[in-house]
Amino acid sequence: MDNNLLLSQYKLTTFLACQRRFQLRYLRRLPWPARPLPERTEQLLQQGQDFHQLLERHFLGLSITPATIPDQRVRQWWQSFQTHNPVQNLPDNIRLLPETGLTVPLGNHLLYGRFDLLVIGQDENSQPFAHIFDWKTGRPATVDELNARWQTRLYLALLAEGGSAFWPKDVQLQPEQISLTYWYVQDAETPVTIGYSAAAHQANWIELQQIATQLDDAFAADIWPLTDDWSQCRECAYQVYCGRQGAGTAPSASSTALSSSGRAVPELDEHDETEEPAPPDEQLLTPDLP
């Protein structure tokens, strides 16, 4: 078994939620038979993907003609984005890097993240800065929720550890020069920007290292315990493997949310895990530029 993993936010979250699920899903690679989604949910997922692709094209410099966007909801999101575009008031001489990945080492493993949009450049004091933008089409989360998310912590840590790779060798990107903005289509006027600091990075990185050590210990003992939190089992496809059918199947708050119309909608805008690249050596600390 390969004990050196490419760790994304999904794998980290899964390992922390349930080590047995992590083993079944990522090590034994048992199929993850998703329950059939309602047609409405499938449509919302597709709209979320289409919106991300639209913004990728926009930030690659391609022109977008609203009339050619076939889906009315996506067209409305695009118009909202144009009105409330959070990528503004940035210094000159920036680079816009949509759908950019970054990989850095973590113990025996690699950490990986892919940003919807990474903006890099120099601020008014000629210091390098990096600003991640993440587009969300699901339910807006609170600042506390966003701060606690592994997506936030992983993205900021990745740039603090490996972001200097976007500049010439003698340039160092400091944690204080890194930020992350979440922009929700349902709360377009109030993007949430989260900053970073050396102290926050130190604490964040120590915790990531501790998780890597836990992972190594689990590999060494080949023990992958079932979670004590049965609520995790309610949305898990491996209930039968674990004898946890009694947990029920109601969707949890983490996988669904209420839209402004009161409908339950999934987190629409997360990339499919299958898009993670294989970790070739040369990708280490190397930006995966579009």
Contact residues: ligand SF4, CB under 6 A: 18, 20-21, 24, 226-227, 232-233, 236, 238-239, 242, 244
Nearer to ligand SF4, 69 or 233 (CB): 233
73 vs 77: CA distance, rounded Å: 6
In the bound complex, what is the minimum distance in angstroms from residue 45's beta carbon to ligand SF4? 22
119 vs 95: CA distance, rounded Å: 6
Nearer to ligand SF4, 31 or 280 (CB): 31
In the bound complex, what is the minimum distance in angstroms from residue 243's beta carbon to ligand SF4? 8
In the bound complex, what is the minimum distance in angstroms from residue 18's beta carbon to ligand SF4? 3
**Sign of the C-alpha dihedral, residues 137, 276, 53, 84?**
positive
User: In degrees to the nearest 10, what's the CA dihedral of 19, 25, 27, 28?
Assistant: 120
In the bound complex, what is the minimum distance in angstroms from residue 230's beta carbon to ligand SF4? 7
Nearer to ligand SF4, 184 or 238 (CB): 238
How many of the other CB atoms lie within 10 Å of CB of 57? Answer: 13
Residue 263: φ, ψ to 5° = -80, 150
Nearer to ligand SF4, 253 or 278 (CB): 253
In the bound complex, what is the minimum distance in angstroms from residue 3's beta carbon to ligand SF4? 20
116 vs 271: CA distance, rounded Å: 9
Nearer to ligand SF4, 24 or 192 (CB): 24
* Run of H or E residues at 279: none
59 vs 56: CA distance, rounded Å: 5
Nearer to ligand SF4, 147 or 239 (CB): 239
In the bound complex, what is the minimum distance in angstroms from residue 191's beta carbon to ligand SF4? 33
Q: Would you say 183 and 135 are in contact if contact means Cβ atoms under 8 Å apart?
A: yes
Q: In terms of DSSP bridges, do strands 128-136 and 95-106 run parallel, antiparallel, or are they unpaired?
A: unpaired
Nearer to ligand SF4, 85 or 227 (CB): 227
Q: Which residues, other chains included, contact 233 with Cβ-Cβ below 8 Å and sequence gap of 6+?
A: 18, 227, 239, 242, 244, 247
In the bound complex, what is the minimum distance in angstroms from residue 183's beta carbon to ligand SF4? 31
How many of the other CB atoms lie within 10 Å of CB of 201? Answer: 20
Joined together, the tokens standing for residue 84 give 């409330």
Q: Would you say 285 and 104 are in contact if contact means Cβ atoms under 8 Å apart?
A: yes
